[in-house]
Amino acid sequence: MHFFNWLGSRSIQSFLWLGDLLLLCAETYRNLLFSRIRFRLVIAQIVEMGWRSQPVIAFTGAFTGAVFTAQTFFQFTALNMDTAVGPVVSVAMCRELGPVLTGLMVAGRVGAAITAELGTMRVTQQIDALRALAINPIEYLVVPRTLAILAAMPILVAEAILFGILAGWFTAVKILEVNSAYYFANMLRFTEAQDVIMGLIKAIVFGQLIVAIGCREGLAAQGGAVGVGRATTEAVVLASLAVLATNFFLTMALNIFFPAGGTG
């Protein structure tokens, strides 16, 4: 009986949390369409979210591409399919590894920063002060971050894909001695524009999820420094889980429109 009570309570809390998140997204886009856009804040957030995230994204993409190339080579070489490594790595980086790993890294870095900043403002009553000055907190705090992530996330994913493919080429050609000409020819033959488009669509969705969850947790933080820390932890965990879960449904849906190996 206690288990079912706990399960029911958690289900209700989950629905309430999801409702808060959807309402926040609706309010954000309403302000985005009908309220003032503070471009100075948007640019500052693009620098913080995009520019300063580049090193970790490049590092993640490069070593992911390198290790995936090595593992693919070790399996394919037994089948005498060494030159098939290129297209497998390229398509995997474009469709899955690039956007997902970028989403997880951004959730850890950007999601945590957003929640900590807004949570601190919440517990120190700075958000109440904004309302007292007739400034809408959603317009001032959430909208610039939403626009910034929508601009920065596709670029970060493209960088992860690029560095992954380059590191894969270096690993395959320079270390594992795969024929460079065949590697590039097969990669260009089987990697299509729709593979990149699929990755960029995922980037936009993941970016929106990360910012929405980070802002929701930050604006709902309470309980002083302990509450801000708890909200930051929950935001990172929830955003990471949202990226992984949403990726499955996006993959199933987008493969209908962009089938692997199809003509788009």
Whether 160 and 61 have beta carbons less than 8 Å apart is answered as yes
CA distances from 59 to 5, 71, 86, 243, 248 (A): 46, 18, 20, 20, 25
DSSP state at residue 170: I
Structure tokens at 104: 């997880």
81 pLDDT above the threshold of 90: no
Q: How many CB atoms lie within 10 A of CB 162?
A: 16
Helix, strand, coil percentages (3-state) for the chain, rounded to 5, are: 90, 0, 10
Structure tokens at 7: 């399960």
User: In the prediction, which pLDDT does 4 show?
Assistant: 57
The residue among 180 and 92 whose pLDDT is bigger is 92
How would residue 262 be classed by pLDDT, with cut points 50, 70 and 90? low
Q: Residue 35 is which amino acid?
A: S
Q: Where are the alpha helices (DSSP H) in 35-191?
A: 39-49, 54-76, 85-92, 98-106, 112-123, 126-132, 137, 143-169, 180-190
Structure tokens at 95: 């469709």
Query: Does the global pTM surpass 0.85?
Result: yes
How would residue 264 be classed by pLDDT, with cut points 50, 70 and 90? very low
Structure tokens at 152: 């920065």
User: In the prediction, which pLDDT does 15 show?
Assistant: 80
Of 58-72, 99-113, 174-188, which gets the smallest average pLDDT? 174-188
Q: 177 Cβ partners below 8 Å, 6+ apart?
A: none
Of the CA atoms within 13 Å of residue 210, those in its CB half-sphere come to 33
DSSP state at residue 173: I
Cβ-count burial 11-37 (b if 16+ within 10 Å, e if not):
eeeeeebeeebeebbebbeebbeeeee
What residue ranges do the domains of the chain occupy? 38-253
User: In the prediction, which pLDDT does 18 show?
Assistant: 85
Q: Each residue of 97-147: pLDDT tens digit?
A: 999 999 999 999 999 999 999 999 999 889 989 888 888 999 999 999 999
Q: How does the average pLDDT of the chain come out, rounded? A: 89
Give the rounded percent of residues in the chain with a pLDDT score beyond 90.
62
The residue among 35 and 90 whose pLDDT is bigger is 90
User: In the prediction, which pLDDT does 186 show?
Assistant: 85
pLDDT, average across residues 234-247? 95
Cα–Cα distance, 199 to 243 (Å, whole number): 13
User: Nearest-5° angle of CA 261, CA 262, CA 264?
Assistant: 130
The residue among 79 and 152 whose pLDDT is bigger is 152
Of the CA atoms within 13 Å of residue 235, those in its CB half-sphere come to 34
